[in-house]
Amino acid sequence: MENIKVLKGGEFLITESSAKDVFIPEEFNEEQKMILGMCQDFLKQEVHPYLERIDSMEPGLMRSLVAKSGEMGLLGISVPEEYGGFGQPFVTSMIASDELGAGYSYAVAFSAHTGIGTLPILYYGTEEQKQKYLPKLASGEWVGSYCLTEPNAGSDANSGRTKAVLSEDGKNYILNGQKMWITNGGFADVLTVFAKIDNDKILSAFIVDRNYPGITFNPEEKKLGIKGSSTVQIFFNDCVVPVENLLGKRGEGFRIALNILHIGRIKLGANVLGASRTAISESVKYANERKQFGNFISNFGAIKYKLGEQVIRMFAAETALYRTSKYVDDTISFNIANGMDRVKAYMDALGEYAMEAAILKVLGSEALDYIVDEAVQIHGGMGYSAEMAVERGYRDSRINRIFEGTNEINRLVATDTLLKHAKKCDSVVFGIGKSVFEQIDSNNESSTSYSDYFEKKHFYIRQLKKAVLLILNRAYDAVGKQFNIEQEIMMSISDMSIQAYAAESVVLRVEKLKSIKSEADFSVYADICDVHTYETSNKLFKAGMDAINSFAQNDEYIKLKKGLQQLTSIEPVNIKEARRRIANKLIEDNVYKF
Ligand SMILES: Cc1cc2nc3c(=O)[nH]c(=O)nc-3n(C[C@H](O)[C@H](O)[C@H](O)COP(=O)(O)OP(=O)(O)OC[C@H]3O[C@@H](n4cnc5c(N)ncnc54)[C@H](O)[C@@H]3O)c2cc1C
């Protein structure tokens, strides 16, 4: 880790990073490439030939696929060796989630099992609980699920009514209540169930075996997409759970639920990448085969625009994901080197990057939604046919903006976490925003002072971050204690942060690629960087204006608008030609290969 600066959570807004400090997918090591290849082979052999059968919920099929993934070692990537896993770094587990994300409904079953289904026990279980459950979860002999949501408790998860009462002999908790939308619930053997003990205000967590008395499972839900993924309601009627199955301490359940969701969010940010790559590849293959007006449709500018844009959004989401994942790994290593036990080291690292996790979830799921939507559009009428892969991809994508915390909740989390950082180090975060505001009328710095390509890009990024801090500072000053209920403003600031993080991540990756790629191969990455910087600046300006129009008036409004214009203005770039060049590489490769 020498000479590498690992940013703390949210620090990206106040500290400048250099290319050498970020991890990029081109740096996967041999072992990681091997796991990536295993995941691709698994999908090719075991999943993709059977998509129809999976989506029709052929009895036993999904469960057998989870078991097969276990036999191949894919379920134990994050589980330490002493519990039957492989104890791989966080980045490696993200690579598996990314690649297997191309597995449609299977991806959801895999992700729920290895994430929310296994990790609560790994991070909060007693030694006995870990010994009992983890080896079987890692091998796929048992399947895991996570039961938090209830009919009246969704985003407000702590409001759940499922109740646990100690039996008279003190040996068991008696569980009563109802859970809904439980992924893998149709066949899971092990359920992490959140419930309140007696009249507690905060949830506790329990490990519940499927065969305990008093549990009933509803039939499978009929869904818009991910039709092959098991989703059921579960009822607990005097369900008897041994006291030793309490997970963590009494009243610790809500904290467990939230901490596991931080991981779930980053994992989702990885999952959507595999799905995005597939949809882009399907798009370009079709565009290269379909002729209209005597021309392949991939020759039309309107289609090139879509292909180029798909690539740019995918590239940005991927770049931000691996950048953050390596921060998590480095923070875990740092924590362990400083004497923290492994579990605490993990939890601390994942909590640290709560803001980035929320950003990745929103950025990735919205990139995928754009990509699958344009994939259908590129296919024209055929995109609407169930014969085409993009039809399934389109339907399956939609859930990603809903689960692991809706995108509204994640946007609020991102800004709320930023605000907490700001309050912790008031003079830095708010101080920058304040001084940017004061200098608006005297600011003469412009991109023309920089002749070097990347120096100019770094200047833009500094400006974008200043814009976020400017609006955060002025909005907080204007609405003060009302900030948390002025959600529209919080969402705008969140959008600004998302754009700033994505923009910086792309610039840093492309800068690093300059020393890896030949000049000829590099030029298309500069195109991605140019268009992405242009787009993020515009989106950030729009989000900033939405915020300003919501809280500023008169002279302050005029001054803030001027400041935002200064901070988001970039030199002209021919985005049409740049997008065409990006699309042309995709068209030539006939598959996503960036
Ligand atoms: C296919 C599927 C699989 C799932 N798998 C699981 C699982 O395995 N385990 C599990 O426990 N749960 C699971 N869920 C549940 C999922 O996590 C919830 O659906 C999600 O958290 C949203 O809760 P809700 O559906 O009750 O929506 P609500 O919370 O009712 O939200 C409705 C709308 O209001 C918005 N909203 C809510 N609160 C606020 C607020 N404070 N501010 C602003 N806007 C707000 C939301 O963003 C949303 O747009 C799954 C759901 C689905 C559909």
Q: DSSP 3-state assignment of 233? A: strand
> Residue written as tokens 């590489």?
585
> Measured from the CB, is residue 147 less than 6 Å from ligand 1?
yes
Q: What is the mean pLDDT of residues 116-140?
A: 97
Alpha helices in 290-388 (DSSP H): 301-337, 342-352, 354-378
Domain ranges of the chain: 146-249, 254-407, 408-589
Is residue 293 pLDDT above 70, yes or no?
yes
pLDDT for residue 421: 84
Quote the ligand 1 centre to 401 CA distance (angstroms).
9
Q: Decide whether any atom of ligand 1 lies within 6 Å of the 149 Cβ.
A: yes
The predicted structure's pLDDT at residue 447? 86
pLDDT for 360-388, tens place per residue?
A: 999 999 999 999 999 999 999 999 999 99
Return the pLDDT at 201: 97
Output the CA–CA distances (angstroms, integers) from residue 312 to 22, 45, 157, 455, 532, in the order listed: 19, 30, 35, 21, 7
What is the rounded average pLDDT of the residues 213-219?
A: 97
Residue 428 confidence (pLDDT) above 90: no
219 Cα to the center of ligand 1, angstroms: 20
pLDDT at residue 473 greater than cutoff 70 = yes
Atom of ligand 1 nearest to the CA of 157: 21
State the catalytic residue, choosing from 309, 404, 504, 511: 404
**Rounded CA gap, 585 and 315, in Å?**
14
Q: Is the CB of 490 under 6 A from ligand 1?
A: no
> Ligand 1 pocket test: which of 406, 407, 410, 490 has the largest number of ligand atoms within 8 Å of its C-beta?
406
The tokens describing 254, both together, are: 């809500």
Is 363's C-beta closer than 6 angstroms to any atom of ligand 1?
A: no
Spell out the residues 6+ positions from residue 333 whose beta carbon is closer than 8 angstroms to its own.
1
Percent of the chain with pLDDT over 90: 94
Ligand 1 atom nearest the C-alpha of 409 is 47
DSSP for 54-114, written as a single string: HHTT-TTHHHHHHHHHHHTTTT-SSS-GGGTS----HHHHHHHHHHHGGGTHHHHHHHHHH
Secondary structure of 518-575 as H, E, C letters: CHHHHHHHHHHHHHHHHHHHHHHHHHHHHHHHHHCCHHHHHHHHHHHHHHHCCCCCCH
Q: Measured from the CA of 148, which atom of ligand 1 is nearest?
A: 11
Beta bridge partners of 246: 206
What's the whole-number mean pLDDT along residues 401-425? 93
pLDDT value, residue 546: 98
Check if 231 has its Cβ closer than 6 Å to any atom of ligand 1: yes
* Spacing of C-alpha 143 from chain mean position: 23
pLDDT of residue 443: 79
* φ and ψ of 237, to 5 deg: -120, 100
The Å distance, Cα 404 to ligand 1 centre, comes to 8
For residues 53-70, average pLDDT: 98
Buried b (16+ CB within 10 A) or exposed e, 338-348: eebeeeebbbe
pLDDT class of 446 with cuts at 50, 70, 90: confident
CA 142 / ligand 1 centre spacing (Å)? 26
From 260, 395, 399, 402, mutation site for ligand 1 pocket: most ligand atoms within 8 A of C-beta: 402
- Beta strands (DSSP E) in 41-91 are none
SS3 171: coil
Report the pLDDT value the prediction gives residue 1, as an integer from 0 to 100: 46
- Asked whether the CA dihedral 396, 402, 404, 408 is positive or negative, the reply is positive
d(CA 63, CA 466): 50
Cβ atoms of 23 and 91 closer than 8 Å: yes
For residues 213-233, one letter each, b for 16 or more C-beta atoms within 10 angstroms of the residue's C-beta and e for the rest, the string is eebebeebbebebbbbbbbbb
* CB contact set of 560 (below 8 Å; sequence gap of 6+): 437, 440, 470, 471, 474, 548, 552
Protein residue whose Cα sits closest to atom 35 of ligand 1: 408
Query: Does any ligand 1 atom lie closer than 6 A to the CB of residue 402?
Result: yes
Look at the pTM and tell me if it is higher than 0.85. Answer: yes
Asked if residue 309 lies in contact with residue 370, where contact means CB atoms within 8 angstroms, the answer is: yes
C-beta of 180 in contact with ligand 1 (< 6 A):
no
Minimum CA distance residue for ligand 1 atom 30: 154
CB 319 within 8 A of CB 509: yes
- Examine the pLDDT at 2 and tell me if it is beyond 70: no
Tell me the pairing of strands 231-242 and 246-247.
Answer: unpaired
Task: Compute, in angstroms, the gap from residue 408 CA to the centroid of ligand 1.
Answer: 10
Q: Is 155 in the pocket of ligand 1 (CB under 6 A)?
A: yes
Residue 360 CA to ligand 1 centre (angstroms): 18
Average pLDDT in the chain: 96
The two three-digit tokens of residue 528, written as one number: 């991605």
pLDDT > 50? residue 558: yes
What tokens appear for 378 in the block? Answer: 């590129």
Please tell me the distance from the alpha carbon of residue 320 to that of residue 528, in angstroms, as a whole number.
14
Q: What CATH number does domain 254-407 carry, 1.10.3720.10, 1.20.140.10, 2.60.40.10, 3.40.109.10? A: 1.20.140.10
Question: From CA 361, how far away is CA 154, in angstroms rounded?
Answer: 18
Express each pLDDT in 507-530 by its tens digit. 999 999 999 999 999 999 999 999
Going from the Cα of 233 to the center of ligand 1, the distance in angstroms, rounded, reads: 14
| Lowest mean pLDDT across 155-164, 189-198, 440-449 | 440-449
Q: Is 148 in the pocket of ligand 1 (CB under 6 A)?
A: yes
Q: Is 246 helix (H, G, I), strand (E, B) or coil?
A: strand
On the question of pLDDT at 33 being above 80, the answer is: yes
Pairing of strands 172-183, 215-217: unpaired
- Classified as helix, coil or strand, 238 is strand
For ligand 1, atom 13, name the residue with the nearest CA: 181
Task: Give the mean model confidence (pLDDT) for residues 254-261.
Answer: 94
State how far Cα 116 lies from the chain centre: 14
The DSSP letter of residue 8 is P
Residue 425 has pLDDT above 80, yes or no: no
- Among 281-290, 342-351, 442-451, 460-469, whose mean pLDDT is lowest? 442-451
CATH fold group of domain 146-249:
Butyryl-CoA Dehydrogenase, subunit A; domain 2 (2.40.110)
Say yes or no to pLDDT of 426 above 70. no
What is the CATH code for 408-589? 1.20.140.10
User: Considering only CA atoms, which residue is closest to atom 31 of ligand 1?
Assistant: 155
**428, 14 in Cβ contact below 8 A?**
yes
Mean pLDDT of 1-11: 80
CA within 13 Å, CB half, 48:
16
Q: Report whether residue 409 contacts ligand 1, using a CB cutoff of 6 Å.
A: yes
Ligand 1: which atom is nearest the Cα of residue 221? Answer: 1
Task: Give CA–CA dist 418/498, Å, rounded.
Answer: 12
Same fold, 254-407 and 408-589: yes
Ligand 1 touching residue 408 (CB < 6 A): yes
| 165 has pLDDT over 70 | yes
DSSP string covering 117-170, please?
Answer: TTHHHHHH--HHHHHHHHHHHHHTSS-EEEE--BTTBSSSGGG---EEEE-TTS
Read off the pLDDT of each residue in 67-89 and give the average, rounded to a whole number: 97
Q: 3-state DSSP helix/strand/coil percent for the chain, to nearest 5? A: 65, 10, 25
* pLDDT exceeds 70 at position 3: no
Pocket test for ligand 1, best of 116, 118, 148, 149 (most atoms within 8 A of CB): 149
Distance of CA 563 from the midpoint of ligand 1 (Å): 37
430 lines ligand 1 (CB under 6 A): no
- Cα of 93 vs centre of ligand 1, distance in Å, is 25
Mark whether 404 is an active-site residue.
yes
**Cα 153 to averaged position of ligand 1 atoms, centre (Å):** 8
